């Protein structure tokens, strides 16, 4: 069963940063701050999948590649995020990539989504552009 954002406010962030959700990805989801790096945006987008925050996913998707709508799937239980590699994507970069593995359960089966995601920074704000899924 997906995690409830209200329950996460006093719990650890699903992105496994070691921080509390409210002080980590929760502040990005609430619009109180912008992710300063491509990796932090990737982590916050993973957490948005966990808490079924499709609005945040659309808001952080580059307008050139963003779908018109997005339905978060409550049947997928996201279990763990592993950041495998990053290239660029720092606070002063204009682009970056993040390679990750997102572990999940669906219909009682375990799975892993592996992706190399591309990010662009426009007007000091990071956006997810696209990704190569393997």
Q: What are the tens digits of pLDDT across the range 6-60?
A: 555 458 999 999 999 999 999 999 999 999 999 999 999 999 999 999 999 999 9
Q: Rounded to an integer, what distance in angstroms lies between the CA atom of residue 95 and that of residue 37?
A: 10
Q: Rounded to an integer, what distance in angstroms lies between the CA atom of residue 90 and that of residue 126?
A: 10
Angle 100-75-65 from CA coordinates, rounded to 5°: 50
Q: Residue 78's pLDDT band (boundaries 50, 70, 90)?
A: very high
Among candidate residues 24, 27, 21, the one with its CA nearest the CA of residue 4: 21
Domain boundaries, the chain: 5-133
Q: Which class does domain 5-133 fall in?
A: alpha beta
């Amino acid at each position: 069963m997906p995690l409830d954002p209200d329950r996460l406010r006093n719990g650890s962030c699903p992105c496994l940063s070691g921080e509390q959700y409210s002080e980590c990805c929760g502040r990005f989801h609430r619009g109180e701050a912008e992710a300063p790096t491509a990796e932090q945006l990737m982590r916050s987008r993973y957490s948005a999948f966990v808490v079924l925050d499709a609005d945040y996913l659309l808001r952080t998707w580059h307008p050139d590649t963003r779908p018109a709508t997005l339905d978060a799937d409550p049947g997928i239980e996201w279990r763990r995020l592993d950041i495998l590699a990053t290239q660029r994507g720092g606070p002063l970069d204009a682009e970056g990539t993040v390679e990750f593995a997102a572990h999940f359960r669906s219909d009682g089966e375990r799975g892993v989504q592996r992706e190399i995601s591309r990010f662009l920074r426009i007007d000091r704000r990071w956006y997810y552009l696209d990704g190569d899924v393997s």
